[in-house]
A and B are shown apart, each in its own frame.
Chain A
């Protein structure tokens, strides 16, 4: 009887805490486009995992955590308070669907993804640059509201 009770508590706790680390253990397939549901190697998989975790945090405005995904030298230049203030006016609860990963070299990747607003009224495709630093992928922080000229056709 006592064992049974422990078993039930364990199952409840597992269910309660399972959502906390779902991004770190597996890729969230709902956020991947149909053509991007398989990965050619572990490097690509690790990047996709970081990418989706970052955008999940960012869309939920968890800036304290999203900040740690930004390039280390940008974190050195722009403090967390600045980062919060800069990003606060952004939309929230939008969905990002990863569509394509292009590796420019062994440490630079460009990711193409689709943005879908929470009311599903707006959607567009955009690109993100990521760098591999000391074995981990980092996002290039947006530091200006002006469009990135380099990315324009």
Chain B
């Protein structure tokens, strides 16, 4: 990631991709877009990081990348690798753009929706407050409401039934709103869950599913579209470098 931030891709007159890497002059300026990009990247790995952490991450990488450019030179193999990656990225972007020209009509969307109903079932969601304790007795006292002055660490979470860790999943099979569950040892703490809200499983409406369906369908024709574009470009002689 840190490498891509420093990229300057030059599309030359011959339409071939060339790469030039220059040090970032303004190290301390981190744009909001960069921050949200990094947060999203971590989220894909199931890690939620704060804006401040994202900023630090970007800044540290930028400092080190600049240091590298000052002290060393980039190996040729790395240039080659980045060039291939960027060409791949641009190629995909081009196909995606061309795909959009093939309109997806409402009957196509309805057809996919009706034939893939199971894919549009949204799992039951449980909104709960998590109380954490470092000792079982304290957790038990809290659960039995023995000490009204207790002020444990707490956070609110949303659990999706099918994604609950198998160790604690049986606890949530038959729960009701307002219920407090007995303490369990999970992770590094003794935990007490208080169920706030239960959103039952449901099938998403056609309207809600439209965008997802469009994406799925475009994904399905991606390879075919790519092949067709290449064939057309080659036939028309537009491909440069031949």
Interface residues, chain A, with chain B CB atoms under 8 Å away: 71-77, 79, 107-108, 131-134, 138, 140
* Given A77-B217, A77-B220, CB of A72 within 8 Å of CB of B115: no
Q: How far is the CA of A79 from the CA of B220 in the complex (A)?
A: 12
Q: How far is the CA of A131 from the CA of B111 in the complex (A)?
A: 8
- Do residues A72 and B107 form an inter-chain contact, with CB atoms below 8 A? yes
Among B106, B107, B217, B221, max chain A CB count under 10 A is at B107
* Given A73-B115, A107-B114, A140-B115, CB of A133 within 8 Å of CB of B107: yes
User: Main secondary structure on chain A at its contact with chain B?
Assistant: mixed
Contacts of B115 in A (CB 8 A): 71, 73, 131, 140
Does B87 reach chain A (CB closer than 8 Å)? no
- Do residues A71 and B111 form an inter-chain contact, with CB atoms below 8 A? yes
Does B108 reach chain A (CB closer than 8 Å)? yes
Does B112 reach chain A (CB closer than 8 Å)? yes
Q: How far is the CA of A71 from the CA of B108 in the complex (A)?
A: 8
- Do residues B104 and A76 form an inter-chain contact, with CB atoms below 8 A? yes
Q: A77-B220, A134-B106 are in contact. List 7 more A-B contacts (CB 8 A).
A: A71-B111, A72-B108, A72-B110, A74-B111, A134-B107, A138-B111, A140-B115
Q: How many chain B residues have a CB neighbour from A under 8 Å?
A: 16
12 examples of A-B residue contacts, CB within 8 angstroms? A71-B115, A72-B108, A73-B109, A73-B115, A75-B108, A76-B102, A76-B217, A76-B221, A79-B224, A132-B114, A133-B114, A140-B115
Does B100 reach chain A (CB closer than 8 Å)? no
A131's partner among B108, B114, B224 (CB-CB below 8 A) is B114
Q: How many A-B residue pairs have CB under 8 A?
A: 39
Contacts of A107 in B (CB 8 A): 114
* Given A131-B114, A140-B115, CB of A72 within 8 Å of CB of B220: no
Q: How far is the CA of A51 from the CA of B31 in the complex (A)?
A: 59
Among A74, A75, A76, A131, max chain B CB count under 10 A is at A76
- Do residues B105 and A72 form an inter-chain contact, with CB atoms below 8 A? yes
Question: What is the CB-to-nearest-CB distance from A143 to chain B, in angstroms, rounded to a whole number?
Answer: 11
Contacts of A133 in B (CB 8 A): 107, 110-111, 114
Question: What is the CB-to-nearest-CB distance from B107 to chain A, in angstroms, rounded to a whole number?
Answer: 4
- Do residues A73 and B108 form an inter-chain contact, with CB atoms below 8 A? yes
* Given A72-B105, A140-B115, CB of A77 within 8 Å of CB of B110: no
Contacts of A74 in B (CB 8 A): 111
Question: What is the CB-to-nearest-CB distance from B182 to chain A, in angstroms, rounded to a whole number?
Answer: 42
Question: What is the CB-to-nearest-CB distance from B62 to chain A, in angstroms, rounded to a whole number?
Answer: 44
Question: What is the CB-to-nearest-CB distance from B105 to chain A, in angstroms, rounded to a whole number?
Answer: 7
